[in-house]
Amino acid sequence: MRNAPTILHLDMDAFFASVEQASKPSLRGKAVIVGGLGPRGVVATASYEARVFGVHSAMPMAQARRLAPNAAYLVPRFGLYRLISEQVMGLLRALSPLVEPLSLDEAFVDLEAAGAAWDAPSARSVGERLRADIRAVTALSGSVGLAASKMLAKIASEQAKPDGLVLIEPGTERAMLGPMPVRTLPGVGPATGDHLRRAGITTVEEIAEAGEDELVRLLGKAHGHGLYAMALAHDERPVVAERETKSVSVEDTYDVDIHDRMRVGLEVQRLADRCVRRLREAGLSGRTIVLKVRRYDFSTLTRSETLRGPTDDPAVVREAAARLLDSVDTTGGVRLLGVGVSGLADFTQEDLFAQAAAEEGTDVLSEEAVPEPVAEQEAAAERRWRAGHDVRHAEHGHGWVQGSGLGRVTVRFETPGSLVPGRVRTFRVDDPELEPADPLPLVPGDRLGSAS
């Protein structure tokens, strides 16, 4: 480990919800929950005002509505989140060539790599300046952790939330970690935490006191060794600028269980095509095809097949996914399907059987060729007015959708720069003067690219 706290971990505060609050003055200081709004949707992010009610990420949306019935529930605007994430990552890369993004709103930075920091005072100065720059560029807050290792920097940023900075001085790590619960350490989930608790181990200090041999006996060789090292604050992992992609996958959750076997097969083929498009966009191919099926009773099955060589051929992936589906009983209904490709490579090995099938003119179903169910076609007009998304009216200007249904759409007309909450109007869903719009920048004078 280093002798200076020059590894920085940035975690944007309640990122999706904070973006929505910054762009919608009427929601500032109020409970905002972003995620899938269907019967089986889950929470992507909850604002801190919503967390007071017990709402958290990955919670079923139905449960969130029971806990916080008066919160604002919005559909994610991922295009906008990506654009703002790019602004934040640009600020990080201005500090160091070694930036390791973990997600849209989280990254490690090695401050030593470009001499941005070399001791605690210089690291703290960089961290405070970064937080100020993020607020100036995006109008959002981020929490910063600084430490001599990645593990400790991430723990520090968690302690700093919301909108703070925590620096862990080298030499104080063991004392700081000791009283913390075992779940503080990376890789200790609910199952491992329960296993340790049954053995009488509830804090990090008790992990260290148990000793490496006891942890290996309880958890196995690899996990036991790793957990013991973390409890001693040992973490030599470097900040890696390019994180290797291990798999590419897509999945869909259905509001109503799918019982028809033919429909299930068509959905799997659509997912296979989407997965291949992502592969090709990333310039990758893969050898292992994975099918994920979550059934009506929440049981989840995963099946995989490894090919002779890497491929990005949609016909090959579709055929493999179909073979995997043959081994799964879907009689009771399916609530989620997913198709993935792992064992990635940056080259392809042509599949002669797929080539032969193509030459013989084998019919191939594309995503566009699969007809939408009638109910989905009838709902298309209303579904395009998604809660939280941007619109523009010829008379009233820019606004956002508060909700829609029964042939009506309700819009609040305000912009990120509005000084007071905007007025609300209701229109027919087919009003010719109302149309979808691109998001406006959160900071006046800023320019966003396309957020579609």
By annotation, the residues acting in catalysis are 106
Query: What is the strand order of the sheet 72-74 is part of?
Result: 43-46, 32-35, 72-74
CA–CA gap between residue 416 and residue 158 (Å, rounded): 28
- Alpha carbons within 13 angstroms on the beta-carbon side of residue 269 total 18
Question: Reduced to 3 states, what is the DSSP secondary structure of residue 11?
Answer: strand
Report the candidate in 272, 224, 229, 223 with the shortest Cα–Cα distance to residue 252.
272
What does each C-alpha distance from 309 to 279, 304, 348 come to in angstroms? 15, 15, 7
CB 269 within 8 A of CB 324: no
Tokens of 153: 């920097």
CB atoms within 10 A of CB 203: 17
CA–CA gap between residue 39 and residue 327 (Å, rounded): 28
CB 15 within 8 A of CB 134: no
- Alpha carbons within 13 angstroms on the beta-carbon side of residue 347 total 2
